[in-house]
Structure 1
Amino acid sequence: MPIRRLIRGGGVSYRLTHWATIYGGYAEANRAPTPAELSCAGPENACSLANFFVGDPELKQVRAHTFEAGLRGGFTIGTAGRLSYDLGLFRTDADNDIVFINSETLNRAFFANIGATRRQGGKVHLAWQADGWSAWLNYTHTDATYRSGFVEDAGSNPAGDEDGDITVRRGNRLPGIPLDKLTGGVDVRVTPIWTVGGDFLLQGGQYLFGDEANLTPRLPGFFVLNLHTSVQVTRSLQLFGSISNVTDRHYYTFGTFSPTGSVYLAQAPGATNPRSYSPAAPIGGFGGVRVTF
């Protein structure tokens, strides 16, 4: 069975003033390859769907070393309200990281240890609590990069070289991880029993899976807005409702490359663009009753 266990770790915090505490920590963890990864762990074992279970490990365990430090606290501004904050920096270095590498066989790939990767950046959390309303804001900057280079088959990536390969170099960004992400929200108590609010997500672009060498344009960033409300009818009974993606924004949460010449696409006959996106859900509403015993 795959395991994830903490090898060792620790942290420390020190209160500088009544409104600020400095903290730091270190953790070291490992992850054993999963059965799905082990069943598809080499060029000769490339697969389109990893669905076998094996007991003889073909891959090294991933080991991660994480450092984190920051400043957090809060203070009250007269009768206006209270501001809480958490400012931090982090870095996780992973050794023997496992990635899904394209095979020379069409529509197949395999898992392999590719060396080191790094995820580092900073985070900001702000929360405001006042009489009758509250608000929060989160920002994360994540610089996720390969620290070791490797060569893989380009698959359906049109940016492959004359040999049909792409070369991933030290410093190339990991696909699927946006550099910047901002979330926030606000809740207002209109009456003692009625609350309305909203939240948003603003996310930057990300490289497509299959473009580990960062040779093609990134998946576009997006902004999405959601609204919600609730009425506390009694102490135990609450009515609630929400609207997601209020502006019906068309955006994509995942991107990769798909074959167009060798596979017929009934929904897009004659397609030549191999970029394939996963669309997000359109505008939607939801409501219900919540009972607390």
Structure 2
Amino acid sequence: MKFTLSWLKEHLETDAGLDEICARLTEIGLEVEDVDDKAAFKPFVIARVVSAEKHPQADRLKVLMVDTGSGAPVQVVCGAPNARTGLVGAFAAPGTYVPGIDVTLAVGNIRGVESRGMMCSEKELEISDSHDGIIDLPEDAPVGASYATYAHLDDPVIEINLTPNRPDCTSIHGIARDLAASGLGRLKTHPAPSFAVEGETPVKLTLDLDDPKLCPGFSLRLVRGVRNGPSPRWMQQRLIAIGLRPINALVDITNYMTFDQGRPMHVFDAAKVKGSLTVRRA
């Protein structure tokens, strides 16, 4: 079971730091197996392209002069189609390990032109699978500042060894509840949202179980007027952090709620559902 520190603190009001929280988790039987403090993202800084010229020996490459906020601009050879003067993005200097491509950068010579670092894509920083272009930040992004802090990539990820007798801790809320019960902080309670319900769900629900305890609760509701698309960036980042791949808003929301509240959810396309929905043994 994985979760980020900031995600946990949305459910737990505490001044405890990462080390204290991890120690308490192990003490109460939620043994911490691994902690990723995101140190790998610390070397990346926000930088601005001050000039972008065509490479003298390659039509698809550009020679960039990049302001990293720490002295004279550095020269970078880049093949990204969106590389341009004025672009603000994430820069990695020689010696930086780039996790998305599993490479440690060195000073390079690309078609006769020296390159001292790289401007990174989202894939190279494990933000998404996109590598069609380099990261394009708002113009007011602070040049020279930590990109990890700016993009919330420095949020530590905690992994616990969850034993089969602890289904109550298959959610971030459940873990926070257990920590609060141990005296480490106060459990936050968020009121359930209110919404209008109108009409009946046309699909009938059938429970075909020889033991009702196998499924103590199952509910179904038709939602109309939904426009699907990408989920919010903050949600995508949290899902990626715990090892899930963002797909679209509807799927991501159900996955998020499954891990946040311990309420497994699934979305069906109503136009493709025929007959009743039957809940049975696997």
* Band of TM-score, shorter chain: under 0.3
Q: Which has the higher helix share?
A: 2
TM-score between both structures, scaled by the size of structure 1: 0.21
Greater RCO, CA 8 A, separation 6+: 2
TM-score between both structures, scaled by the size of structure 2: 0.22
Q: Which has the higher strand share?
A: 1
